Chain A
Amino acid sequence: MAVRKNQATLTAQEKRAFVDAVLELKRLGRYDGYVDTHNYFIVNDSDTGERVGHRSPSFLPWHRQFLLQFERDLQSIDPNVTLPYWDWTVDRAANSSIWDADFLGGSGRSGDNQVVTGPFAYGTGKWTVNVRPDSRDYLRRTLGASVSALPTRTEVETVLAMTTYDAAPWNSSSDGFRNNMEGWRGPNLHNRAHVWIGGQMNSGMSPNDPAFWLHHCFIDKLWSEWRRRNPGSGYLPVVPTANVVDLNKPMKPWNTTTPAQLLDHSALYTYDTGF
């Protein structure tokens, strides 16, 4: 059984294996397909039209499937690799070890915000940003510059305590767990971490930064935790709903997997601890 671990607990060897697999996907040309797909959905998911990957109930199962596909792709390079997660309620400083040169590298330098440390720095020649909205082809970050603090444990607990999964109108204005987790409402969890990292992570092409996967793995873990704590609450909506993925509707772009099939991940992977 694959175990997804807290990135802070990884050995040097485990960090290296993860980084190497990511770099190999990039070298093979497969990585950028994920950036492209994510951007396609993020610019097309709208509050009043069809919405699948974001601002909708399927935000959580869509990203679960997206991460699974990426993780399987990494495992085709190195079968021992699993996605690590970044618990930003604990590792919340710009000098936390996740940003060290032996893992994701640090914040961008002053002037152009270019990341110049670690395996994804432009200068390595191994990480060119190809899918982009502007002329810059180097990874950028502005850790902690656009918003002062990452969400706290208390803020996460507030959202985990919301017993309704999602609510009409099933978009960025909804009450409920999903939208508060996504961050369009309430204390702002998921969206805020994107803003805190800055650079490409704050854009529609956020998977250009490998931190994307560790952030979303933690969001996935928190969904798992919410289900454990709220066993009587299920995915909503369960009935066909215009523009929205109901419990039993296959999700684009795969068209093979429904939210119902993704609720229980225990046959595919487990997490090392609860929240």
Chain B
Amino acid sequence: MSEISRTAELTRRRMLQGSVLALTAAVGTGVLAVAGPTSKSATAADLGENDRFDESYQGRRIQGRPTAHAGHHGAGVGYTVLIDGRELHMMRNVDGTWISVINHYQTFATPRALARAAVDDLQGATLVPISVA
């Protein structure tokens, strides 16, 4: 069984277990490129060396770098963003914009804008590894 189908099966089992009875019975982002009706939609730029960054933002260290592998979600490009050394789960849309697990319904033009928006949302909190199984 592949990793993906294994985790899908685990998720399915967990969800079914969680609902067995039912089944048997029947801010601060104004300066950033934020897509939305009040601002111009984020437009994506091609990734280049400029998209490698390592800086301090609001007291947090944010880093971003292209990665050799394409990522488990098959979004066509590998990229990693770290906040104080911890990975921010992220994904690229087919139009080139970016979303993260923190801002999942909001698109950003660059990984740096995405990382800064996550720092704004976190208000000092630490990222923890997320379960995808």
Contacts and interface: CB of A to CB of B under 8 A. Distances in A.
Interface residues of A, number: 63
Given A30-B19, A147-B37, A252-B12, A48 B75 contact: yes
Contact of A37 (B14, B74, B105): B14
A75 interface: yes
B102 A203 contact: yes
A76 B125 contact: no
Dominant secondary structure at the B interface:
loop
A149 interface: yes
Interface stretch (A8-16, A95-103, A189-197, A225-233): A189-197
A203 B99 CA distance: 10
Interface in A172-199: 172-173, 183-184, 187-188, 190-192, 194-195, 198
B7 to A, nearest CB: 7
Contacts of B21: 73, 76
A135 interface: yes
A32 B131 CA distance: 12
Interface in B82-98: 89, 91-95
A240 interface: no
Nearest to B21: A76
Interface stretch (B26-34, B46-54, B61-69): B26-34
10 contacts: A30-B18, A33-B14, A40-B7, A43-B73, A44-B72, A50-B74, A133-B102, A145-B27, A169-B94, A194-B104
Interface of B: 4, 7-8, 11-12, 14-19, 21-23, 25-27, 29, 34-38, 72-76, 89, 91-95, 101-107, 121-123, 125-128, 130-133
Given A142-B27, A191-B106, 10 more contacts: A33-B18, A33-B19, A43-B132, A133-B102, A134-B102, A146-B36, A147-B36, A172-B94, A190-B105, A204-B104
